[in-house]
Amino acid sequence: MGTTMSPALQGFARPLREHGPALLSEVNNPHEEMLALVWGPRFDREHAMWLWSRLSRRAPQQAVPVLPALMNAAEHFDALDGTDQRRVRRLILRHRALTGAVAV
């Protein structure tokens, strides 16, 4: 039996799946960066803007659609209940384990 995501969780995940590779392409540990964004009860917009600013300096045209998608993901995350927010964190941790990424 597969797991399905709620529409709210899909609303959070979709923009990050689409734009996450560009946003996180030049960071040392993408999973840690993702966890930093969602570790608290609210999406860390300041950290997201730092990641976006790095992307905008190296690839300005690529960065243009990322910012609204990132803010959309932030709004969706903030609207999730605590159970779904914890699920997001678990999914990131599971993905890190499955990809063999090393925790720092």
Confidence of residue 101 (pLDDT cuts 50, 70, 90): low
Query: 56-95 pLDDT, tens per residue?
Result: 999 999 999 999 999 999 999 999 999 999 999 999 999 8
Structure tokens at 3: 């797991």
Q: Which strand (E) or helix (H) includes residue 43?
A: none
Tell me how far apart the 2 most distant CA atoms of the chain are, in Å: 44
* Cα–Cα distance for residue pair 19/14, rounded to 1 Å: 9
Q: Could you give phi then psi for residue 47, rounded to 5 degrees?
A: -65, -40
Q: Please report how the helices 45-58 and 30-38 are oriented relative to each other, as an axis angle in degrees rounded to 10.
A: 140
Tell me the HSE value of 74 on the side-chain side, using a 13 A CA sphere: 16
Tell me the HSE value of 61 on the side-chain side, using a 13 A CA sphere: 0
Q: Which strand (E) or helix (H) includes residue 45?
A: helix 45-58
Please state the pTM of the whole predicted model.
Answer: 0.85
